[in-house]
Amino acid sequence: MSAIAVQNNEITPAVETRSVIEGVEPTVLADIYQAGTNIVVWQRHSIDSLVQAADRILEIHPTLQTSLTVTPQSACAAVGDALGTTGAAAVLSEDIAQLVDMFCYLFELKRAGLRLTALDRAMCPRFHVDRVPCRLVTTYKGVATQWLPHHLVDRSKLGAGSQGMPDEESGLFDQITDIQQLNEGNVALLKGELWEGNENTGLVHRSPAINSEQRRLLLTLDFISG
């Protein structure tokens, strides 16, 4: 059975504010059902073996681009087919399978959309919101996702509202210190625009800038219905 136990899956009415909930146990992820939050972060400890495994995978597969539809039962083997079945690949495959199991259990899904990507540049360099109900993200290696607290964002400056100006100059937020950032190994649930009751309050986030010496290994999980 998954490590997450959901006591109440009912979605409560929208509220005006949105906050972050953080915790060191995987059960914190169930707090995504709280109406007053749009990001929940599991601050994992003892991740050295995962970071080392990810580093090795980036050496072996520097241009890795894997997109899969998986079930909790098929995830380990499916990722193993892409990465290999021994050493570092096995370590990552087992962890990814556990995250798929948690994600599907939490949201009562039979399948999830999985992307595992090696990055040497920012994939989504501008702040934006996702038109999804909720997305799981974790950076196994490298600098992790940046996000803005809901109350510090001028949403009229997203997209075309920026008038082509950089995020730091458009008025989207006031100061650089407003930008929050996940840590390597954190597992986060980002509530999007299609979560019922979360319209116009989806988490504003972006990919971090990466210098020429860096690489990231990023995992995302998305809803697949049916």
Asked whether residue 174 carries a pLDDT value surpassing 60, the answer given is yes
What confidence score (pLDDT) does residue 4 get?
A: 56
Q: pLDDT tens digits for 139-167?
A: 999 999 999 999 999 999 999 999 889 99
What average pLDDT does range 105-130 have in this prediction?
Answer: 92
> What's the pTM?
0.90
Mean pLDDT of the region 191-199: 93
Domain spans of the chain, in order of start:
19-151+178-224
Q: Does residue 13 have a pLDDT over 70?
A: no
Above 70 in pLDDT, residue 9? no
| Fold assignment, 19-151+178-224 | Jelly Rolls (2.60.120)
The DSSP string of the chain is --S---S--PPPPP-S--EEEEESSGGGGGGGGSTTEEEEEE-----HHHHHHHHHHHHH-TT-EEEEEE-TTTHHHHHHHHH-SSHHHHHHHHHHHHHHHHHHHHHT-SEEEEEEEEESS-SS-S-B--SSSEEEEEEEESS--EEE-GGG--GGGSGGGGTT--HHHHTSSS-GGG-EEPPTT-EEEEE-TTSTT-TT-PPEEEPPP--TT--EEEEEEEEE--
